[in-house]
Amino acid sequence: METDISVKVLTSEDAWSSSEVQKAQLEVPAIRPILERKLNSEDRPSWQEIAPESPATKLYWALWDSLHLKDGVLYRKWESDDGSSCRWQLILPKNRIQEVLRETHDSASGGHFGVMKTLSKTRERFYWDRLRADVEKWCRECHACGARKEPKTRTKGRLQRYNVGAPFERMALDILLPLPVTTKGNRYVLVLMDYFTKWPEAIPIPDQEASTVAEELVRTWISRYGVPMILHSDQGRNFNSALFTELCKFLGILKTRTMALHPESDGMVERFNRTILNHLSLFVSKNQTDWDTHLPLFLLAYRSADHEATGCTPADMLFGRTLRLPCDILFGRPSDMPSSPNEYLNNLEARLESVHAFARERIKLASERMKTRYDSGATGHYFKEGDQVWMYNPKRRRGLSPKLQQNSEGPYTIVKKLNDVVYRVQRS
């Protein structure tokens, strides 16, 4: 949000004359009885005279000895606690409060400081009923301050779980962003991963165009494992293009995506990306242009290792058997050959059922642990339609200093609640 904080040029024409201020004070019902009495007499009116007036008038009546006239204008003499200094506070008409607060808070000389600094600056010069409450409200509702300053407590919703119970019900899609260009011209890694079996594919690609992604999705995944029910990705333009949307519609795939600024909703593939980078960093050459040649053996290593969530290897989950590794060839491994194809089929079916049942229980327990840990930091704050909110936006514009840019945008108005943690908003 851009805020105009240009310096206001003041001239003598902007100054209030004594007659204008006196006229404004006389137009305020709370001040008029006190000012009229001061203009005509130094004697404080009796309580019987002031009893029918408003609470604000009674407050000024209680301050009678501190109120003085200067050029016909009502001021309050405010002394410090030790009596060593005093300030003359103008008794401010209500219709001038916003103008004063714009000068003492919003202007360049106001500085958009917090409540205490603004209160001190205002109190040195002005007085009115409920001054502190008005200053606090003004600072709290200042859009420029809200956009720049971090909230004391940022709201955090409870974890929303999405568990799966069978292979290829739901798969994740992501692109590992630019690595050094290889000798084969590849620069990106298209990452595909099944949420249940944790079976991954990592395909080196030269660009991240929607056509390239769609082609590799069909060639590498759909042609081998079939069409997934749900395809989940981040908000990348290539995943939400017209071409990709049409492909999903044609194949009957439900396309979902992460919320803005919340990549943790696709945490499985984000963690896998870090694993890829850790592995490649150990094996690439010094010029780093051969990383794509190391991906196949990385995938073999990952697919043959137990996954923390399932307690099984992705190969066990998908094929019902252990992958043969180079070490098995070097050191030998006894072969468990079935006596007949029917026996192999029956054993495979039983093994897959057992492995999947075991994995479902492991995934459920891991999900519950994660939710308990995550929800311990949740604020439990729920919004309703019509609430005004600030939207955190850490994105920084090129060519501008990030230290001088605002951290939040808004205010926005909540127009619809989509679920417990997702809302649709529009700029107020």
Structure tokens at 152: 């004391």
Tokens read off for 202 = 């990592």
d(CA 422, CA 168): 26
Contact between 207 and 187 (Cβ < 8 Å): yes
Domains of the chain: 12-148 (1.10.340.70), 170-376 (3.30.420.10), 387-427 (no CATH)
Q: What are phi and psi of 21, to 5 degrees?
A: -65, -45
* Per-residue pLDDT band at 10 (split at 50, 70, 90): very low
The confidence score (pLDDT) of residue 7 equals 43
Gap between the terminal Cα atoms of the chain: 12
Q: Which of 105-114, 253-262, 303-312, 393-402 has the lowest mean pLDDT?
A: 393-402
- Tell me the C-alpha distance between 199 and 192, whole Å: 8
CA angle at residue 143 from 137 to 145, to 5 degrees?
80
Residue among 391, 374, 382, 370 nearest 421 (CA): 382
- Please check whether residue 71 is in contact with residue 21, taking contact to mean a CB–CB distance below 8 angstroms: no
Cα dihedral 297→299→305→310 (10° resolution): 180
Asked whether the predicted pLDDT for residue 108 surpasses 50, the reply is: yes
* pLDDT > 90 in the chain, percent: 31
Under 8 Å CB-to-CB from 353, ≥6 apart: which residues? Answer: none
Is 139 in contact with 114 (CB distance < 8 Å)? yes
Type of residue numbered 255: K
Residue 115: which H helix or E strand, with range?
A: helix 115-123
- For residue 296, give both structure tokens: 């196949």
**Band of pLDDT at residue 399, cut at 50, 70 and 90:** confident
The residue with greater pLDDT, 275 or 371, is 275
Please report the pLDDT score of residue 216 as a whole number.
Answer: 95
Q: Residue 198: what pLDDT?
A: 94
pLDDT of 269 above 80? yes
- Tell me the C-alpha distance between 100 and 85, whole Å: 23
What is the percentage of the chain residues whose pLDDT exceeds 70?
A: 86
pLDDT at 185 over 80: yes
What pLDDT does 319 receive?
92
Highest mean pLDDT among 55-64, 287-296, 373-382, 389-398: 287-296
* Residue in the block written with tokens 């070097």: 330
The confidence band for 249, taking pLDDT boundaries of 50, 70 and 90, is very high
Using alpha carbons, select from 270, 279, 352, 274 the residue that is nearest to residue 312.
Answer: 352
CA distance 288 to 282: 11
Read off the DSSP letter of residue 239.
Answer: G
Residue type at 61?
Answer: W
Q: What is the pLDDT of residue 159?
A: 60
**Angstrom distance (rounded) from CA 253 to CA 270:** 22
Res 9: pLDDT: 43
The encoded tokens of residue 363 equal: 């995934």
CA distance 247 to 270: 24
Per-residue pLDDT at 1 exceeds 50: no
CA nearest to 317, candidates 163, 201, 164, 196: 196
- Tokens 């609430």 locate to 387
* 65-80 pLDDT per residue, tens: 888 898 888 999 888 7
pLDDT, tens only, 271-291: 999 999 999 998 998 889 999
3-state SS, one letter per residue, for 169-186: CEEEEEEECCCCCCCCCC
Contact 392, 407 (CB under 8 A): yes
Helix or strand holding residue 344 (H, E): helix 341-375
- Measure the CA–CA gap between 304 and 198, rounded to whole angstroms: 11
Per-residue pLDDT tens for 289-328? 999 999 999 999 999 999 988 889 999 999 988 888 888 7
What tokens does 330 get? 């070097």
Token pair, residue 210, equals 């929607």
Top pLDDT among 401 and 269 is at 269
Would you state the pLDDT for residue 12? 46
Query: Considering the chain, what is the average pLDDT of its residues?
Result: 84
Rounded CA-CA distance 35/131 in Å is: 19
| Degrees to nearest 5, angle at CA 129 with 111 and 52 | 165
Instruction: Give the pLDDT confidence score for residue 49 in this predicted structure.
Output: 86
The DSSP code sequence of 294-333 is GHHHHHHHHHTS--TTTSS-HHHHHHSSPPP-HHHHHH--
- What would the mean pLDDT of 232-239 be, rounded to a whole number? 86
Of 57-61, 298-302, 399-403, give the range with the top mean pLDDT: 298-302
